[in-house]
Amino acid sequence: MDEGITLDRFLMQTGASHPSATGQFVTLLKQVTLAAKMISSRVNRAGLAGMIGATGETNIQGEFVQKLDLYANETLKRNLEHAGVVCLMVSEEEDEPVHIPEPFVPGRYVFCTDPLDGSSNIDVNATIGTIFGVFKRKSPDGTPGQLSDVLDRAGDEMVAAGYVVYGSGTLLVLATKESGVNGFTLDPSVGEFFLSHPDLRLEPSAKMYSINEAYRAKWDPRLAGYIDSLKAPELGFTQRYIGSLVADFHRNLLKGGLFIYPSTASAPNGKLRVLYEAFPLAYIAELAGGSATNGRDRILSMKATDLHQRTPLVIGNSELVAQATAALVAD
Ligand code: P6P
């Protein structure tokens, strides 16, 4: 009987076909999978393990850091730094880029991550997640990673992206140009991820939008006009907003929808970060047939000039993204 395809088997089947397969790519994704299992276990026990509550410290974004944020960040670093697959890591939790410590050998890839996105929702048991994007280095193999391996590079240059959503279950979504977008659900009884959502696709249109309407007074009036137009009864739209990017994006990926975190008067570049939020989710959205813009330009054509650069984000089904973007650039 087919017991289902594990993520490991999927990686071996697809990773082996990767044109420049040296095994590092598959190893990187396997290490991320191990980190995801460890984070999932801790998230699911957080309330019991006394992990709830702010540490009182703040990270570069000035947000209160939850203890689980720190655990997720450390777990990803520990699972990647020794494996010889990464030369540099960029994390929301790290002000500076993370280099590979001695005696470990730097590998071929740059790993960008928001280790635990939505952490402000931890205390209320709302769905949270890990987001990641992978670039292949430009600097010489075997040398320390350089900022030029990740800055001033279009999102199009990524070789993989994904996220883990820690909700009623733990699901890892992985996107590569070779295999498309596939979802794997963790079976905690055996500690393996199994292929549960093969070939995820975003149809051209949908009937759902996600935006925090509390900020309406600060929106571009053209955005307010577009959102109001979606409320016409005959269109049959509904609105969902969890306030956790991974949860909102994942729901829209499975059911269709438009997510917008816009530019506002007080935050012209919005809130979300280019390297470890917008780039990975835009990469996934486009491989699933959707699209993503910053309200004017395609996200994956952008280049980050700062590790923690922010951008407005309009992402989801391609027709809705096109409509929202057209509204925002209209004269
Ligand atoms: P707001 C969570 O803090 C987060 O970074 C994203 O996960 C989420 O999409 C966004 O902020 C929510 O922000 O301003 O709507 O509360």
Same domain, 58 and 183: yes
Same domain, 276 and 135: no
Same domain, 183 and 48: yes
Q: How far apart are CA 181 and CA 199, in angstroms?
A: 5
Same domain, 127 and 236: no
Ligand 1 in contact with 44 (CB < 6 A)?
A: no
Q: Best of 61, 166, 271, 281 to mutate for ligand 1, by most ligand atoms within 8 A of CB?
A: 271
3-class DSSP assignment, residue 260: strand
Same domain, 179 and 243: no
Which pLDDT does position 191 carry in this prediction? Answer: 93
Report if residue 268 sits inside a domain. Answer: yes
Same domain, 231 and 309: yes
- Between CA 20 and CA 25, with CA 23 as vertex, the angle to 5 degrees is 75
Does residue 55 surpass a pLDDT of 80? Answer: no
The residue range of the domain holding 143 is 7-197
Ligand 1 in contact with 211 (CB < 6 A)?
A: no
Report if residue 2 sits inside a domain. Answer: no
Q: What is the CATH number of the domain that holds 250?
A: 3.40.190.80
Q: Which ligand 1 atom is at minimum distance from the Cα of 243?
A: 12
Residue nearest to atom 4 of ligand 1 (CA): 118
Ligand 1 in contact with 271 (CB < 6 A)?
A: yes
- The residue from 137, 164, 197 where one domain ends is 197
Ligand 1 in contact with 117 (CB < 6 A)?
A: yes
Q: What tens digit of pLDDT does each residue of 188-222 get?
A: 999 999 999 999 999 989 999 999 999 999 999 99
Distance of CA 65 from the midpoint of ligand 1 (Å) = 14
57 exposure class (CB count in 10 Å sphere: 0-12, 13-18, 19+): exposed
Distance of CA 251 from the midpoint of ligand 1 (Å) = 15
| Position 64 confidence tier, pLDDT thresholds 50, 70, 90 | very low
Which pLDDT does position 50 carry in this prediction? Answer: 58
Same domain, 171 and 60: yes
Range name among 53-57, 233-237, 291-295 with the lowest pLDDT average? 53-57
- The residue from 197, 231, 252 where one domain ends is 197
Q: Which ligand 1 atom is at minimum distance from the Cα of 241?
A: 15
Same domain, 191 and 227: no
Ligand 1 in contact with 144 (CB < 6 A)?
A: no
Which pLDDT does position 36 carry in this prediction? Answer: 97
Does residue 59 surpass a pLDDT of 80? Answer: no
Q: Which ligand 1 atom is at minimum distance from the Cα of 259?
A: 9
Q: What tens digit of pLDDT does each residue of 301-316 get?
A: 999 999 999 999 999 9
Same domain, 17 and 122: yes
Ligand 1 in contact with 244 (CB < 6 A)?
A: yes
Q: How far apart are CA 317 and CA 201, in angstroms?
A: 9
Q: Best of 245, 252, 281, 310 to mutate for ligand 1, by most ligand atoms within 8 A of CB?
A: 245
- The residue from 173, 197, 221 where one domain ends is 197
Whether the pTM exceeds 0.85: the reply is yes
- What is the 3-state secondary structure of the chain? CCCCCEHHHHHHHHHCCCCCCCCHHHHHHHHHHHHHHHHHHHHHHCCCCCCCCEEEEECCCCCEEEHHHHHHHHHHHHHHHCCCCEEEEEECCCCCCEECCCCCCCCCEEEEEEEEECHHHHHHCCCEEEEEEEEECCCCCCCCCCHHHCCCCEHHHEEEEEEEEECCCEEEEEEECCCEEEEEEEECCCCEEEEEECCCCCCCCCCEEECCHHHHHHCCHHHHHHHHHCCCHHHCCEECCCCCHHHHHHHHHHHCCEEEECCCCCCCCCCCEHHHHHHHHHHHHHHCCCEEECCCCEHHHCECCCCCCECCEEEECHHHHHHHHHHHHCC
Total number of domains constituting the chain = 2
Q: How far apart are CA 4 and CA 176, in angstroms?
A: 21
Q: Which ligand 1 atom is at minimum distance from the Cα of 212?
A: 15
- Between CA 93 and CA 236, with CA 241 as vertex, the angle to 5 degrees is 150
